[in-house]
Structure 1
Amino acid sequence: MSGFPWGEWAVGLGWAAGAALAVMLVTFAVAVRVGMHRVVDVAWGVGFAAVAGVSYAVSGASGGDDGRRLLLLVLTCVWGLRLAFHIAWRGRGHGEDPRYEAMLAKAPGGRRNLYALRMVYLLQGALVWLVSLPVQAGMYVSGGVGWIGWAGCAVWAVGLYFEAVGDRQMARFKADPANKGKIMDRGLWSLTRHPNYFGDFCVWWGIFLVAAGSWPVAAVTVAGPVVMSYLLIWGSGKRLLERSMAGREGFAEYAARTNGFFPGPPGGR
């Protein structure tokens, strides 16, 4: 990759890893103090914002395009902090997440906190660092954003819309006592069973397009959106959530008429 500052980027990778680790360790300390590990879900979005902020700061003298650098910072922070706020608001007044209760019940020797540190916090910190590779590399790319980058902004905007509007529609649905026990199948949820996960998918492929100023940059950072896509569709996102919902009344009918991930007209697949 002619002209790309490999050495400076390598240093930046270390700073980004440190930022992700710091967020997770601080969150772990808070979780131990309050006795509830569900707070790590809030740290997911905060971690991405921290990585973007640190990467922006340390890349200032690298020769990276200032417009691209600022754009990557804004796109990442808007997405990450909105997600963190939403999860914090949604979880207020609730106890421990059943997912973490089930996981920590398997802790060897009953050492729940150490097990959580290894299996949740450090793992999520590593994933934040890996998924955000396009943000980290894009800070060092010279040259203007170009039409591919602006197309990436459009994809990001579609993703943020699906995620934010989908979350809002679900919150309003759950707030109505008349909907207790029912399956949400309205609004964006009639186009896809997971508008928020589809939104995340678009956000990170959009950020990838903004960051990829040349094919070598794309080649070394594509692992980021690929890993995020795997997590959303086959990892801890859609697959696990639908497994937990499989026995709920009306879910089978909803799944039969509604697309599983990518939006589309009613019909399901």
Structure 2
Amino acid sequence: MMAIPVQAVGRSVIGLVVAGIVTALGLAFAYFAGINGKTAFGYPIFFVCAAVAFGVNWLAFIPAAIAQQEKYYDLVGSLTYLSIIAAACYLASPLDLRAMIVAAMVATWATRLGGFLFMRVGKTGGDSRFDKIKTNPTRFFTAWTLQALWATVSASAAIVIISSSERVEPEFFFWLGAAVWLAGFAIEVIADWQKSAFKDDPANKGKYITTGIWGWSQHPNYFGEITLWFGLLIMAWPLLSGTGFLVIASPVLIYLLLTKVSGVNLQDKQGDARWGDDAGYQAYRRNTSVLVPLPPKKG
């Protein structure tokens, strides 16, 4: 019988411990953020939705791990949002106008982005983020568990709105938040469309985009993503009290992850590796706003 290396066992145990901690944090966050809202099965509806998020990702992990394939990761991410929003709507019904509009917003965003990312992976043949972890079951499992946590926290303001035991007629925060969300969603959609069209043109093979909204921001899609979730937080503000204010973590977490962890930093490293010696690229990086769309600097 082949002996299993001690180091491999140790890494597997660590991976499972990390996944367990992530799960505990996600469920605890959902419990306390939703404790002032409606309940189902004796728990806050938000807690039940978080459990759904983890369940969806763990089920999807099984065939993905067997095939060592990440192709459906982002698609399952969108399905996670749709599942928890659907669960919240069902368990908290009847819904008021604010809740119905917020549910539609998240469903629209998840459907659009999930389809876009799935098609992008289909074009590129894979996702380089998973090259080193998809062959390691415990690390791969942790990635799926983290996706459930991401969905739980990022959608927290929306779920609190839907599951709130208090109903507030549309007022200043509702309209302001809706306007901010719409602006962020539009920027994200336009940025993705412009970059896809740029890459689909054979004449642009091996080039970097500096046109359209990308001439005003190096990462406009990330700015749009952060902005739309901030809009949902504004819409939720009149309904927050006590530990419900934990949902402030939604746009904050998204901002930190997209600017400090796996978004801007990763894209900039890849860009520097490909075009770091290109004077035009260096000028673009120097004169163009990193995140917030702003007129480019002169020179």
TM range (shorter): 0.7 to 0.9
Match of 1:181 in 2: 206
Preserved contact between residue 28 and residue 37 of structure 1 (Cα < 8 Å)? no
Larger radius of gyration: 2
**Consecutive aligned runs of 4 or more in structure 1 exceeding 6 Å deviation:** none
CA RMSD, 1 decimal: 2.1
Match of 2:255 in 1: 229
Deviation per CA, 1:173-221: give whole Å up to 9, x if none. 0011111111100001011111111110111001111122245276231
Deviation per CA, 1:76-111: give whole Å up to 9, x if none. 11111100000111121543322211345xxxxxx6
Taking the aligned partners of 2:101 and 2:206, their CA distance within structure 1 comes to 42
Preserved contact between residue 71 and residue 122 of structure 2 (Cα < 8 Å)? no
Preserved contact between residue 38 and residue 92 of structure 2 (Cα < 8 Å)? no
Preserved contact between residue 159 and residue 201 of structure 1 (Cα < 8 Å)? yes
Match of 1:163 in 2: 188
Q: Residue 222 of structure 1: CA displacement?
A: 0.6
Deviation per CA, 1:11-67: give whole Å up to 9, x if none. 212221122113212332342354312421222232222211111111126xxx611
Preserved contact between residue 191 and residue 264 of structure 1 (Cα < 8 Å)? yes
Match of 1:263 in 2: 293
Match of 2:270 in 1: 244
Q: Residue 159 of structure 1: CA displacement?
A: 0.9
Instruction: Report the residue type matching 1:228 in the other structure.
Output: I
Taking the aligned partners of 1:235 and 1:38, their CA distance within structure 2 comes to 22
Taking the aligned partners of 1:201 and 1:151, their CA distance within structure 2 comes to 16
The 3 A distance-change label for structure 1 pair 82 and 172 is same
TM-score (norm: length of structure 2): 0.79
Structure 1 residue runs of 5 or longer lacking an equivalent are 105-110
- Structure 2 residue matching 1:234: 3-state secondary structure: helix
Match of 2:230 in 1: 205
Higher mean displacement: 129-138 or 86-95: 86-95
Structure 2 residue runs of 5 or longer lacking an equivalent are 1-34
Match of 2:17 in 1: none
Give the number of equivalent residue pairs: 255
Taking the aligned partners of 1:173 and 1:33, their CA distance within structure 2 comes to 35
Deviation per CA, 1:215-240: give whole Å up to 9, x if none. 52762311111111111111211112
Q: Is the counterpart of residue 219 in structure 1 residue 245 in structure 2?
A: yes
Taking the aligned partners of 2:60 and 2:199, their CA distance within structure 1 comes to 28
Match of 2:22 in 1: none
Match of 1:13 in 2: 46
Which residue of 145, 161, 170 corresponds with 1:122?
145
The 3 A distance-change label for structure 1 pair 185 and 93 is closer
Preserved contact between residue 168 and residue 239 of structure 2 (Cα < 8 Å)? no
Which residue of 84, 92, 101 corresponds with 1:51?
84
Preserved contact between residue 198 and residue 262 of structure 1 (Cα < 8 Å)? yes
Match of 1:133 in 2: 156
TM-score (norm: length of structure 1): 0.87
Taking the aligned partners of 1:89 and 1:205, their CA distance within structure 2 comes to 27
Taking the aligned partners of 2:74 and 2:291, their CA distance within structure 1 comes to 22
Deviation per CA, 1:232-257: give whole Å up to 9, x if none. 11121111211221122243222112
The 3 A distance-change label for structure 1 pair 93 and 165 is closer
Match of 2:171 in 1: 146
Taking the aligned partners of 1:201 and 1:14, their CA distance within structure 2 comes to 24
Higher mean displacement: 183-192 or 210-219: 210-219
Taking the aligned partners of 1:242 and 1:184, their CA distance within structure 2 comes to 13
Instruction: Report the residue type matching 1:170 in the other structure.
Output: K
